Chains A and B, each alone.
Chain A
């Protein structure tokens, strides 16, 4: 019983976690193990509902490789809303609105929760920015940004489906061409 209580506490960050927690007695043992791999954080940010193929791109955009705190990344999770999804949990860091907006180009539907003491302190809505500064690499090999030390800059040319336009070479890129700087 004590063990289950601690699992419940760890799952409290996400709505899905809460639902699961209530039904914990019916959850098979193996599934419990899997949930533990993306355990809850006491402080930081939980980014949920990331399209599964964009999970690692989100981590890349936020430069989590160099983050000193705990980072949990899970992908290929089932989601009623978007089919398969990814979750990224960043311990000890509350993302700012600007940082959140950076991930909009790959995960416009993501939900971002700022966690304090295991509770959701704030929900931040992802807003697609008008200008994307130095996040995306231009896919045009003869773009000046790929040949000189120039920070890249893109404009949103179209929101759905997403198309972005390089400020320098004017190449229009779709989501599939997006590579992080």
Chain B
């Protein structure tokens, strides 16, 4: 299994064995959080659209391992404003850095960047398409909070149509014999090409718009925000915002060890009172972003195997 110089573009590029190997390296990173593993290495973070968690956690991960970070978080201050193509921007950046993290609103941009660059490229999110490091931190969190990945009952609630974190997590968890519960109104249900794939792989899955219908079955409930920015029509967004709300009353009907995850930021889909319950796992999930990104940087820069 070789990770040196490898691009991290889509969760579909990784086999079950590769994912499990990454999780093993993440555990090592968590046990030894600081060090000089990436001393002398430079990471370029090219953020063509806003992001808080992803950019800060990559920066923090790199700096905790003694690496340095260059980059921008606002494309308006770069040559892109002058009409420079993404290809040329990447060709220029690879001269300055040992690895590149890119977030871009256009889907497929990270794949193109990887083709342009000779240094490894990590996708920090390309439109509604992929955000593989989020998925890796999601499965790391599930493994940590449930003690295993195999045979779990996982519910997804909210915007399952546009939510890229859901799509990628469904693909990643499909390696581990799960049962899925997709909870959303028809208009925001998981796209058919995902369920077709689940049928093909003989993975049990249910669709419902009723949050309480399968509440007793769940080991994990993955909650997502209804994302205003992904709706082509703002009126559609108004129709669905606030449709699901996880609160203490709902938690009366779930298993004692059921855990709630959320890629954050949240709006009002999880009541603040849930934070203090044993069910809340979303802040721990966000914190796992650091060891996951450290592990990936160390792997692709060839500093761990």
Contacts and interface: CB of A to CB of B under 8 A. Distances in A.
Given A144-B86, A148-B86, A148-B87, A169 B193 contact: no
A134 to B, nearest CB: 14
B105 A142 contact: yes
Interface string B120-154: 00000011011000000000000000000000000
Contacts of B108: 138, 143-145, 166-170
A127 interface: no
Contacts of B105: 142
Q: What's the dominant secondary structure at chain A's contact region?
A: loop
Interface in B240-294: none
Contact of B10 (A143, A147, A170, A172): A170
B5 to A, nearest CB: 20
B209 interface: no
A128 interface: no
Contacts of B109: 144, 168
Contacts of B111: 144, 167-168
Nearest to B12: A170
A136 to B, nearest CB: 14
A177 to B, nearest CB: 12
B79 interface: no
A57 interface: no
Interface in B92-120: 104-109, 111-112
A151 to B, nearest CB: 11
A142 B86 contact: no
Contacts of B107: 140, 142-144, 168-171
A145 B85 CA distance: 12
A148 B127 contact: no
Contacts of B127: 142, 169
A143 B130 CA distance: 12
A172 B171 CA distance: 15
Which of B12, B107, B127: most chain A Cβ within 10 A?
B107
A131 B86 CA distance: 24
Nearest to B191: A172
A170 B106 contact: no
A157 B193 CA distance: 10
A149 interface: yes
Contacts of A138: 108
A143 B193 CA distance: 18
Closest 9 CB pairs of A and B: A168-B108, A169-B107, A169-B108, A144-B108, A172-B193, A144-B106, A144-B109, A168-B111, A144-B112
Interface of A: 138, 140, 142-145, 147-150, 157, 163, 166-172
Interface of B: 10, 12, 85-87, 104-109, 111-112, 126-127, 129-130, 193
26 contacts: A138-B108, A142-B105, A142-B127, A143-B106, A143-B108, A144-B104, A144-B106, A144-B111, A148-B87, A148-B106, A148-B112, A149-B85, A150-B112, A166-B108, A167-B111, A168-B107, A168-B109, A168-B111, A168-B112, A169-B107, A169-B108, A169-B129, A170-B107, A170-B108, A170-B130, A172-B193
